[in-house]
Amino acid sequence: MTPVFPAGRMGRFIGAAACAIVLSACSTTKPVVAEKAPVPTMEELLAKANEASSAGRKEDAVTLWKAAAAAYPADKAPWSSIAQTRYDAGQYGDAIVSAQEVLVRDPNDRLANSIIAISGLRLSTRALADLSRQNNLSGSIRTESQDLAKLLRESLGEQVLVPPPPPAAPPKAIARSRAKPRAKQASAGASGADPFGALK
């Protein structure tokens, strides 16, 4: 005798269960996981940035140094390179900010302290020149500027903060030498002496 299954709800349930089992068997493959690329070493990042900087692509180099600083936040080298690049470009505000990042990591860094000091002086000089040109250098600003200049002179041991340019050297007089006899010139050349010695 063959068992008879009712074609009603029970049949639909069994059919749905069979389909689910078949479909689940198809989906048991492992999902593909994309592997992360290894993080480049600090040396590799700095080498790429230095290469870009040497090629004249300063902004590309700064981008690479910032990536290195993000990947290795405890290292001061990327910030030091950014500070020097900004200083060389005359971007003194940015140079100061980057140099301060160096000092967070190494408070005794001489290059960072130098960049901050000189960049600050150059920014101050520009601002004071602008104020002086606008005839607005008066009152407390003038007094504070004079006090600061005095402190800087004492710190540097100089009487004048910005020394005048050296006097131009007087043009050298070109003395015309008389032509030497050919025999003497030939003997000088033959003896291995400097053939251009008479022109000096």
In order, the DSSP letters of 59-116 are HHHHHHHHHHHHHSTT--HHHHHHHHHHHHTT-HHHHHHHHHHHHHH-TT-HHHHHHH
Other CB atoms within 10 A of residue 49 CB = 25
* pLDDT value of position 108: 95
Nearest by Cα to 49 from 32, 22, 34, 69? 69
Positions in the chain short of pLDDT 70: 1-11, 13, 15-34, 136-142, 152, 155-200
Tens-place pLDDT, residues 158-171 = 665 555 556 666 65
* pLDDT value of position 185: 47
Who contacts 45 (Cβ-Cβ below 8 Å, separation ≥6)?
A: 64, 65, 67, 68, 71, 72, 78
Tell me which architecture the domain covering 42-156 has in CATH. Alpha Horseshoe (1.25)
* pLDDT value of position 87: 94
Other CB atoms within 10 A of residue 40 CB = 15
Per-position b or e across 164-194, b if 16+ CB within 10 A of its CB: eeeeeeeeeeeeeeeeeeeeeeeeeeeeeee
What are the domain boundaries of the chain? 42-156
Positive or negative torsion for Cα 12, 18, 19, 21: positive
Identify the helix (H) or strand (E) that includes residue 50.
Answer: helix 42-54
What's the whole-model pTM score? Answer: 0.55
